[in-house]
Amino acid sequence: MDPCFETAAGLGRAIRNGRLSSVEATEAHLERIARINGPLNALVVVDRAGAMRAARAADRARASKSAKLGPLHGVPITIKEAFDVAGLATTSSHPPLKDNIARSDASLVARLRAAGAVILGKTNVPELCADFQTDSPIFGTTRNAWDARRTAGGSTGGGAVAVAARMSPLELGSDIGGSVRNPAHYNGIFSLKPTEWRVPSRGHVPDLPGKTRTTRYMGVFGPLARSVQDLETALRVIAGPDGYEAEAPPVPLGPVPRLTPADLRIAVLESSPLVQVSADTAAVVQATARLLAKAGARVKRASPKDLDWRQNWDDWIDLFQYQNRALEPLAERQPFFGADGGSDPSARSMVRTARLDLGEFFAVLDRRDLAMRQCEQFLDDYDAWLMPVMPDAAFIRQKQSEPLRIDGVDHPYFFAGCSYNYLANLTGQPSIVLPCGFSRDGLPIGLQITGKRWGEARLLGVARVLEKLLPPCPVPPAYKS
């Protein structure tokens, strides 16, 4: 077996059963990283010495036969650079943090280590995780695994490329506007955005080290992988409060139900009212809906009845900006007072939120509660809501100031790029991305399924059904060996 082409669960079984050592699995991944990472620039910190120490310790623990082996025992993985890993740099690609060395592990990193994971290194992000291209002012640009000219996605772009190119079977990422979902879509892999507050945030940047924690809404943390089983395994390791954050409740994950297609009721959204998807994306949505229906699922085009998509988008971006700008000095906000935001919805949000009006902040939270109720009630009648992740397959890298072009139509960059992912962040509902098809240019297109809050177990059950109907997780042509 080639360890680099196994899933995390497959590697874990092989290591626990003695068919493969952690040292062998770790060395294989490190050798592959050394061979192919250069032009991709997915991993920006490689901890070869630390990884090999951990792998040797994992093998000793297995040989002792008295140690309790965790679900990821001896499995090499990667971590998004924005998470603290003790002894390694955590910059979140923010130049003022270029010399910041983490003193301890983030809560989720510590849990992954306790489950037996071997950390290979850290993967690239855009500055402060604020883009769906991964272009770091510290580490440079990460390139898409399928086409080096195109975006890798972001902000977990480096991690998605590492998993797609078989340099890592599992990545830990973060998501406040699609950051574990769009990179999975762009690179042909799986990802899971859990329910808001399902997993703790301690040790993730932003927030900036030593500063007041302001990111208290919508930001979530989850895995990227090459199978639904790996998503479930990772979620069970990282889920649950850590005692540092008042918001995180101890809600049990519960067992994943064994479902058949005939058990499923699936709502389908082909295109949102905000940004029309490409013809390629629409074709993949249609084909996936037909696949489910042919297998016996009850499939219906449907959306929440009175959902105000544009207001919800404005509320999502405003809530993001309120948190992002909470500590911003008055002198930096004052030029926006009374300014004209123009036609770009993101620019208008910068104007609306500049005064940090507490009454407006709570009005956003009220409207957020309404959107949450509407989407939860809608999913009373469905097991999952199937929709695009992004309006199109990976685009050729460009400046943020340039419009995003979808089938010849220009749209404001951030508005278009977040036009499908923002809603599940606003409502706090879980979403899973699966690779479902390809564009005419041979680029992967993923779709996401969204479920009810705290309903990850059933959503994983739905994803298992869909995964069995789809072809195996694809390998980028340049990295098949």
Burial-class residue 469 by CB neighbours within 10 Å (0-12, 13-18, 19+). Answer: middle
Which secondary structure element, helix H or strand E, spans residue 286, and what is its range?
helix 279-295
Secondary structure class of 40 (helix, strand, coil): helix
Number of other CB atoms surrounding residue 100 within 10 Å:
17
Verify whether residue 201 is a known catalytic residue.
no
CA neighbor of 28 nearest in space, from 10, 55, 53: 55
Length of the chain (residues): 481
d(C-alpha 254, C-alpha 275), whole Å:
36
* Residues 6 or more apart whose Cβ sits within 8 Å of residue 204: 82, 83, 84, 106, 174, 219, 221
Q: Please, what sign has the CA dihedral across residues 295, 453, 370, 337? A: negative
Residue type for 175, please?
A: D
Instruction: Locate all alpha helices (DSSP H) within 136-192, ordered by sequence.
Output: 157-164, 181-187
Verify whether residue 179 is a known catalytic residue.
yes
d(C-alpha 165, C-alpha 145), whole Å:
6
Select which of 136, 155, 191, 419 is catalytic.
Answer: 155
d(C-alpha 446, C-alpha 390), whole Å:
8
d(C-alpha 39, C-alpha 309), whole Å:
39
Q: Are 384 and 450 in contact (CB under 8 A)?
A: yes
Provide the token pair at 341.
């935001």
Select which of 21, 80, 136, 346 is catalytic.
Answer: 80
Verify whether residue 155 is a known catalytic residue.
yes
Provide the token pair at 243.
């005692």
Select which of 22, 136, 174, 179 is catalytic.
Answer: 179
d(C-alpha 367, C-alpha 316), whole Å:
10
> Which residues have a catalytic role annotated?
80, 155, 179
